[in-house]
A and B are shown apart, each in its own frame.
Chain A
Amino acid sequence: MKVFITDGTAEAFFTAVFDAYCERDCIISSDRQIQLALDSQTVCVDKDMQKCQRVLSAVENCDRYAADDLVLALRSCNPKKEQIAFDYIKKLLQIKRPIRKRLSLTEVIALNNLLYKVTGEAHRLKGLLRFMENADGILYAPYSPDNNITDILMRHFAERLKCERFVIHDVRRKIAGMYDGKSWIMGYADQAEICLSANEIAFVNLWKKYYKAVNIEERPHEKQMKGSMPVRYWKFLPEKQQ
């Protein structure tokens, strides 16, 4: 059995699909700690734009929205994401029509579950991201999401805070999106040193005060709160710091 190892990018994945499509029994993964079977043979795949293009056009011939879905699913933190996407492509090319509505197929269910997790977290973090203002008026938001969604958030906030300058920093993956008031770019960012603006602490305190005051103590329902706002996100929420 062949195991195709990619570097985690979408291009490398599509290249791997090109190589793996004709194999009878193979796995695609970007997980370096994958458990290998005894007879397995690993192949490291580097991205090849030509192969990638050919796979993409084959996919688009069947369903012109499928490529977007696949790219979105590949942002997931699920270690099996490449295999799930690969299975979906195989099914798609076998049926040769859009399969997104065939909701009882296992391949579609698996891909939809990935999409649900990714878009769900992106939506949740549109609310739970917290900016702090530095001395120059630049807004800085550190966070550590499960899935790789920083550029989805960049798009949202670039539309919303059009005249501000801001940085969204994924601390776990060490990447940051930066917006300068006109356009945004993504880049590598290890550590950030922030000097807060004069008002920052005062507004954080006001927000904490507000958070405390708006709660109705006679109706406690902690479970609901933790369900909607999981504890792993609390690290970056000022209202949850003492």
Chain B
Amino acid sequence: MKFIHTADLHLDSPLRGLSAYADAPAERLRTATRDAFQNLVTQAIDEAVDFMVIAGDVYDGDWKDFNTGLFFVRQMGRLRHAGIAVYLLYGNHDADSEMTRGLELPDNVHVFSSRKAETFRIEHQKVALHGRSFKVAATTENLLPGYPEPVAGCLNIGVLHTALEGNAEHAKYAPCSVAELQAKGYQYWALGHVHAHWVLRGDEVTIAYPGNLQGRHIREPGARGALLVSAEGDRITGIERLEVDVLRWHALEVDISEVSDRRGALRAAGLALERLLDASPAHLPLAVRVLFVGRSAAHGALIADEGQLRQEVLAQALALDPDRVWIEKVRVASQALSTQALPLNDDAQGFLADLAGLSSKAKDDPDFVLSLQADWLALLEKLPHEVLQASPELQALRQDPLAQLPEWLGQATPMLLGRVAQSADAPT
């Protein structure tokens, strides 16, 4: 007997942080979450699993388009056609969604009640599934005590949407601990809510988060998918990961310690991208954040004009495979060598040293600080809320410009030095 355990589909939740540019594979990746789920359903049918467990968060809570629900119903229909039952538990996002209440699901879909824990039994396979859906999003109490006792002689599967103890990244909904789960007497805990893949195998009980089906931003990097669980009698015999994502996020560090100029750094980025592509499945596009790291003489040239740098990295990516690489951001996190090591004449060295010294004093000049703050606010006050939300840096700057001043000036100084060094170096 085998079943699929999935959670956190977040259907139609958009990819974030990717700005489209010419030749980026934008068009075909705008439905990534749907495509991933469709892949999963296809695999379920191909594998002829006995049933599928969905441990919450089918949709984003604030997502209003009912078409998403219709899409979900259609996928459920495919499973029904293949004779595969689905055990669906609503999580915090689903509880918020008005679609949850309006949708008519096919009869192969069994939804766990939100009033109290409910058990579905599959008699011929001796399986008992226990679960309780969220009634409201803000379900902060531990639901576990309400779960029934295990059914003797059956494979007991607990389905729970929970922020397991110690997981700081996710909201603390329906919290409980591993020990509590282990003590419940079920053989398998099909959890949802945490987007990272995590499995705790034990002799008696297995606890698993499949992770979300599709990474949606740079903080959800790597492979994403569901779990194919095999069991014999009341024993879990195997857990296999099904990677169904259609786009994979990757933060690519490019070490430029060994290169001395901008061209070398770009070459290094190109090589790193190429290696990354080689190491990734050929069918999968990648959303890549390129981070230049290391201490290098090329740092100044890179930091001097990040706009141009982004264009050049894009060019590298396009040259490699425009259909497979979507550059999310290019960040220069490298460090400069000391200015004395720069290939400049003495006067230029002296000047750069002076400039660096002057820049460090700028923050103490109230006139300068005022004018800079006015420059910032002129833009920041006009930015839509969503833009501020999308950029923590902009949000922080908007909330407290003065607090951000040292950091921003600290970033601006090397950029300036890089630019001035370039222009001073240009004629020689």
Judge: A and B partners, yes or no.
Answer: no
